Chain A
Amino acid sequence: MIRELRPLGLVDAAKFAKVDPFELIRIEVGLGTQIERLAWSKDRLAVVARDGGIEAVWLDPAKMPTTAAGRIREAFGELVRRGFVGTKPTRVDNLTRGLPLGEGDRIRRAAPLMADEGFLLMVSGPLGALVAVRPGMESQVSAIAAGTAESRALRDAMAE
C-alpha cells in the first residue's frame, strides 16, 4: 500500500506521462521547474502533460488500422483532423502514442523528412520537437494518410 502512495520514480513517471525519462526532464526544465527529487506525484504529472502538450491518446483505439503501414500513415492524417496546421503544432511524440516502439521510431524518422518534402512544418522549442501540417498541404497529408498519395520520405521510413 505504501508503494502506491509514494511519488513515482523516474521510470514510472515517464511511463505514466508517456514520454521517455529524458524528455520528462527536458519538459520540466522547459517549464522552469526546479527539479529536486527525481520523483513525481500523479498530480504533478497531470500538470506536466497539460503544460507540456502531451496528448494521452492519438489514434482512436477503436478505429486504429490493422496494419503497421496504415497506423503510421494515419498518425500523420490525425494532424489534419485535429487541426494541427501552421502555427498550431503538437509534439512529435504525440503521434506515436499507443503505437509499438518500431512504428513510433518510423514516425519520428519520417516527420523531419516529410517537412523537407514540404508537407509538414517542424520546430523545436524548450518543451520538445513540434510538428504541424504546412498550410495548404492539408489535403495532401490527408491523401497520404489514406494511401491515395505518396510521400517518398514516409515510404522510405516505412520500408526501413
Chain B
Amino acid sequence: MTTASAKPASVTGSIDEVVRWRAGEEVGLRNEIDALDREIDEMRAAMAALSERLEARQSARSTLDSRVRTIANSGTIRAYQALFAALAEQAAAISERSGLVAAEEFARNSNLETSLMASSGSLFEEYRQFKVTVEPTLSGLPESYRKVLLAHHAELAAKVRSVVESAVESIHPLGAETLEIDVVWGMDSPDGTPDLLVMVVPADESVATGWADRGDDVDLWLAARVVQGLSEALLAGGLAGVRPALGGHRGLLAIEVDLADARPDFGAVLAAALTRVFAAAPELDEARVKVTPRQVDLDWLLPPESTEGSGA
C-alpha cells in the first residue's frame, strides 16, 4: 500500500518566504525611518527658527544694555549740569545777599557809633583825648610817668573795647527772606573706605585766592565755615595732618581732600560737623542764610569725561 508522504519544502519556496518576510520587515522599518527623518527635519527646522529668534533676542538685549549704559551716563551728565546750575544760582543769590549785608552793616555802624557815644560818651571821649593829645607826647615823658599813663590807658581801652564788643555781638538778623543753600560733597570709597572727598560750595571761587581784595562778605564767611566744619571732621576722624586743597570749578569754590586711611564713617562725621558749624554761625544767621550739607554721588561733582558738552 502506498502512503502519501509530505512534500518536502522546496528551497525556492523557503527562500521566497524569507524574501517576502524580509521585504515586509524592510518596508515597515523604512516607514518608521521615514517618519523619524520627517520628525528630525521638523525638529531641525524648529531649532533653526528658535536659534534665529534667540539671536534676535540676544541682539535686542545687547541694544537695551547699551541703552541702559547710555542712560546712566546721560543721567550722570544731567545730574552734574543740574547740580552746578542750581549751585550757580545759589552763588548768585549769596553774592546779592552780600550786598544787602554790607549796606546793613554800614547803617548799623553809623547807628552804633551814635548809640555808644550816647551811652558811654565819657569813656570814648577820654579814650579819644588820650589818642589825640596824650599819646603823641608820651615819648617826651620820663619812663615812670609814661608807665603810669600807659597802664591807665590800657585799663580804659579794655573797658571801651568791652563796651564795643558787647554792642557788636548782639545779633541783628537782616530784614530779608531766608536764603536756603546747599553745600554738597561726594566721596570715592572703592572698598568701603573713603579715599577722596570733593566738596562744592556755592561761593565765588575767588574767595580762595582773592580774599584780601574781596574783604569780608557772605561768600567768605560761608567758605570759612565749610573749612571749619571740614577741619573739625578731619581732626575728629584722626586725619589732622590732611591738608584740603581749595580751588575753583565752574566759578564755584571747590575743595578736594585726599582721605587716605579715613574711617568708613567719615561721611557721617563730616555731616555732623558741618551741621553743627552751620547751626552755630551767627554771621550766617544775621545774613539769613540757611545752609544744608548734602552728600551726593561723587560723579555728579566731576566733569563728564568724553561726553562733556554733549547736552544730553
Contact = CB atoms under 8 A, between A and B. Distances in A.
A7 B165 contact: yes
Contact of A25 (B127, B228, B243): B228
Interface in B263-308: 280-283
Given A10-B220, A124-B241, A41 B161 contact: yes
B197 to A, nearest CB: 15
Interface stretch (A30-38, A53-61, A83-91): A30-38
Interface in A1-54: 1-3, 5-7, 9-12, 14-15, 20-22, 25-26, 28-30, 35-39, 41
A29 B241 contact: no
A11 B227 CA distance: 15
Given A37-B169, A126-B235, A126-B241, A15 B224 contact: no
Contact of B240 (A6, A10, A125): A125
A2 B164 CA distance: 7
B282 A36 contact: yes
Contacts of A28: 228
A10 B280 contact: no
A68 interface: no
A41 B282 CA distance: 17
Nearest to B284: A38
Given A30-B240, A126-B241, A11 B212 contact: yes
A22 B240 contact: no
B296 to A, nearest CB: 23
B128 interface: yes
A143 interface: no
A124 B243 contact: yes
A1 B128 contact: yes
A129 B246 contact: no
Interface string B127-157: 1100100000000000000000000000001
A123 interface: yes
Interface of B: 109, 112-113, 116, 124, 127-128, 131, 157, 160-161, 164-165, 168-169, 208, 211-212, 214-216, 220-221, 223-224, 227-228, 231-232, 235, 240-243, 246, 280-283
The 6 residue pairs across chains A and B that have the minimum distance between CB atoms: A126-B240, A124-B241, A29-B231, A9-B216, A5-B164, A22-B227
